[in-house]
Structure 1
Amino acid sequence: MELRHLKYFVVVAEELHFTRAAERLGMAQPPLSQQIRKLEHEIGALLFRRLTRGIELTDAGRVLYEDARRIVDHVELAKTRAQSAARGQTGHIRVGFASSVVFHPVIAEIVRTYRDTHPDVRLSPSESNVAALIEDLLDERIDVAIIRQAAHESERVQVEELFDEEMVIVLPPKHRLAGRTGIQLHSLAQETLIMFPRSIAPVLYDEVISACQRAGFSPQLGQESTQVASAVSMVAAGFGVSIVPHSIRQLAATGVTYHAIEGPAPRAQIAIACRSTEFSKVVRDFMEVARRASKDRHHGDA
């Protein structure tokens, strides 16, 4: 039983007139009648009773119409849903975020814009460190990741820079430098610097250490924080000072002060990553939204 025969049958059953049904289907009446006869032959029963002025459904025809209508409707729905998915209008996307990027307002804007423009796409967020997110991409546990730049070696992952942000110095309460608006990095030469483990964001870690070395000193590293953002809490607790991305200023911590870095300063890059072989329209649309938001921010800063 061919789907087109069921479609022809449904239209004839609704019109109860071969000529009108043929016009609705955009075909000639004789071939339509022939297809209906083939369907009747396949089923082994008459579906229509031919009358002087039109036709009417037989008992077998009425039963078939109920099922055929549902089948045709389901096929059309499946077609529509597949087309919507192909256009990126429906589906599911799993987005991973590095813990330190969630504080940046552009990241919230990317997610908000994507959800507004793709209301029927389900977005599932997760949060982890950069190394874990790259692994999740490779193992297909997530579809896209917004990260601090990753020093990855896999050709299976595509990483694009979105934008970078300045980094700031975080000082504990009543620190001797707390009264200054801007601070040069070499002023931290005798301070204990709280850093996150290099394994969770190696590029950002190396950027901070290199900036200190360019300023003429190797930092005295203290206890490590489990994440970039948690370094602020450790500063507040008196474990030392830290250097963090500017957007982390939004993190509420009692007593700490944030200070611009005078002179050459490290930059914290934000990037987006997906699998190199990614062809999903929902993922490609998300990447494009992120690119546009990044470009808009760049123009706004210019």
Structure 2
Amino acid sequence: MTFTQLEIFVMVAEMRGFTSAALRLGISQSAVSHAIRSLEQELDVQLVERQQAAVDVTELGGRLLLRAREILGLTEAMRQDAAVARGLNQGLIRIGSFGPTSSLKLLPAILKVFRARYPGIEVQIDEGPDAAVIQWVADRRVDVGFAVLPDDRFDTVPLVEDQLVALLQHDHALAAKRSVTLEELATFPFIMPEQGCSALVEPLFAQAGLAPKVRYRMSQMVTVLGLVDSGDGVAVMPELALPYSMGQTHPRIAVRPLRPMAKRRVGLIFRNLAQAAPAVQAFAEIARVAAKGIREPERLSA
């Protein structure tokens, strides 16, 4: 068994194909097939099932995939430790990011500092819904992920805190109020933002013994804003997920705080920060400092 075989196995599992894995790794498809076949023969198990359209990992292969990622992660940490000792900054850090809060507001500021300090470190960013990022960290597909805190399953580094706000068309009946309650919002057609927002919003209503009148469920924030702008319903979203300068970009949308205020914390999650590679630990420390300089949303008074 070699590290190369494990790397190829992980890539085939993630890309769900021999051809796509070969293209990503820069090797021939026959080399990929040979590596998987040799690994299966050595372990005397079937790791993948070759379908017509894609390659699926077997149940046992899925369990061994976690081991493979763990081994490769430790190997990368050893390489980075050695590089640091030689005065070099080399290696790879894999980051899982979700939505505009992390991808558009936190990551650029953090990466600006990280890239200046560690230009030799390769950065790989995978973007997906909140739940997917959490699963990627659990499966060791990424080294660090952005997530809503708290989460007792992981080591965490808190970064920013914001509040959930109501979005209303500017001439909506509730827009005249300085703040709105969930009871008031529950009486109007509701646009439920998916991609993680619903996991915050739905429990908020449930805890108050309420159920919003969901008219639409939308995965894209731009669509949610468009529907609110046209008066098709009201919505609730985290303030940091909204575009900068909402007053200029969406002048027909009124943003109002909830009463009582509902807060959200966003930070980083790790399987084991103490045992992480030097680049991952450096990213965590840089993120902790850089997040303090992130422009906070203009606080809305209740």
TM category (shorter chain) comes to 0.5 to 0.7
1:95 Cα deviation after fit: 1.2
Alignment partner for residue 243 of structure 1, among 236, 253, 256? 236
2:167, 2:256 within 8 Å by CA — same for their partners in 1? no
CA distance in 1, matches of 2:192, 2:199: 11
Alignment partner for residue 280 of structure 1, among 265, 277, 282? 277
Number of the residue aligned with 1:183 = 180
Number of the residue aligned with 1:159 = 156
Instruction: State the superposition RMSD in angstroms.
Output: 3.8
2:166, 2:258 within 8 Å by CA — same for their partners in 1? no
CA distance in 1, matches of 2:270, 2:189: 37
CA distance in 2, matches of 1:248, 1:271: 14
TM-score by length of 2: 0.58
> Mind listing any 5+ residue stretches in structure 2 that lack a counterpart?
1-78
Letter in 2 for 1:221: V
CA distance in 2, matches of 1:242, 1:138: 31
Number of the residue aligned with 1:28 = none
1:285 Cα deviation after fit: 0.6
1:192 pairs with 2:189: yes
TM-score by length of 1: 0.58
* CA gap 1:248/1:296 in 2 versus in 1, 3 angstroms: closer
2:165, 2:258 within 8 Å by CA — same for their partners in 1? no
- Equivalent residue pairs, number: 217
CA distance in 2, matches of 1:286, 1:85: 18
Alignment of 1:68-147 (within 5 A): 82-84=82-84, 89-102=89-102, 105-147=105-147
1:250 Cα deviation after fit: 0.9
CA deviations 1:72-113 (Å, max 9, x no partner) are xxxxxxx99933378782222121111142366344322222
Secondary structure of 1:290's counterpart equals: helix
1:238 Cα deviation after fit: 4.0
CA distance in 1, matches of 2:158, 2:169: 32
Alignment of 1:5-24 (within 5 A): none
CA distance in 1, matches of 2:290, 2:267: 12
> Mind listing any 5+ residue stretches in structure 1 that lack a counterpart?
1-78
* CA gap 1:80/1:284 in 2 versus in 1, 3 angstroms: closer
* CA gap 1:270/1:249 in 2 versus in 1, 3 angstroms: same
Once the two structures are overlaid, the 10-residue window that deviates more, 114-123 or 248-257, is 248-257
CA distance in 2, matches of 1:213, 1:137: 29
CA deviations 1:194-253 (Å, max 9, x no partner) are 2234xx53xx54543454456674322232112566532342354311111112331776
Number of the residue aligned with 1:55 = none
* CA gap 1:262/1:147 in 2 versus in 1, 3 angstroms: closer
1:220 pairs with 2:213: yes
CA distance in 1, matches of 2:263, 2:134: 21
1:258 pairs with 2:254: yes
2:179, 2:259 within 8 Å by CA — same for their partners in 1? no
